[in-house]
Amino acid sequence: MADRQTLGSTARIARHPIHPMLVPFPIACFVGALATDIAYAMTAQMMWSDFSAWLLVAGLIMGILAAIAGLIDFLGNPEIRAQTPAWPHLLGNATVLVLSFFNALVHTRDAWASVVPTGLILSVIVVLILPVTGWLGWSMVYRHGVGVDP
């Protein structure tokens, strides 16, 4: 295991890594989109589908920003890249963003087809991936000490 001194973050403000500040946004948005998708599927009230569409777009924007900060850390420090959870964390979250992009397109369909079934299925898959990639990310910080100030 690498020493904490060598696992510093590259994308940071006043020695605070940016990536962990941004990741809550896409997580909350994509989980929220699943909740509003379920609400739509149960009620057929378009308001819920509209909420999902906004949550997906907001989650994508913030998720892309989080991905940029994370990629800078990943590419900026070979010691971070060498951590066991790093690659699965990156690939898992890239999958989340790609699926959510397609999910946002599905949500541009009109009325029932905007959610059921494809949109709802994509939302479920994304929310199932998030705890796994989150766990891997937390491992890197809390166990390996990535980005932790020495």
Partner 1 sequence: MRFQWLSMAHTMRVPRVLAFIALASCLAACDDGGGDPNAQIGPHPTLPEPTQYLLPPLHIARIVGWQKGETPSVAQGLKIQALATGLEHPRSLYVLPNGDVLVVESKSPAVQPIRRPKDIVMGWVESLSTSGGSNQETNRITLLRDTHGDGVPDVRSVFLDHLNSPFGVALVGNDLYVANTDAIVRYPYNSGDTKISAPGTTLAPLPGGPIDHHWTKSLVANPDGSSLYVGVGSNSNITENGMEAEKNRAAILEVDRATGRWRVFASGLRNPNGLSFEPQSGALWAVINERDELGPDLVPDYLTSVKDGGFYGWPYSYYGQHVDPRVKPERPDLVAKAIVPDYALSSHVAPLGLAFYTADNLPDTYRGGAFVGEHGSWNRSTLNGYKVIFVPFKDGQPSGMAQDVVTGFLNSDNQARGRPVGLAVDKSGALLIADDVGNTVWRVTSAVR
- The reply to whether 110 sits near partner 1 by the rule CB under 8 A is yes
- The reply to whether 57 sits near partner 1 by the rule CB under 8 A is yes
**Sequential DSSP letters for 107-128:** TTS-GGGGTTTHHHHHHHHHHH
| Chosen residue from 82, 112, 125, 141 binding partner 1 by CB under 8 A | 112
Angle CA 49–60–23, to nearest 5: 115
Q: Which helix (H) or strand (E) holds 16?
A: strand 16-17
Considering only the stretches 2-10, 30-38, 52-60, 74-82, report the one whose residues sit in contact with partner 1 under the rule CB under 8 A. Answer: 52-60
- The reply to whether 25 sits near partner 1 by the rule CB under 8 A is no
- The reply to whether 46 sits near partner 1 by the rule CB under 8 A is yes
**What is the SS3 assignment for 85?**
coil
| Chosen residue from 47, 64, 75, 128 binding partner 1 by CB under 8 A | 47
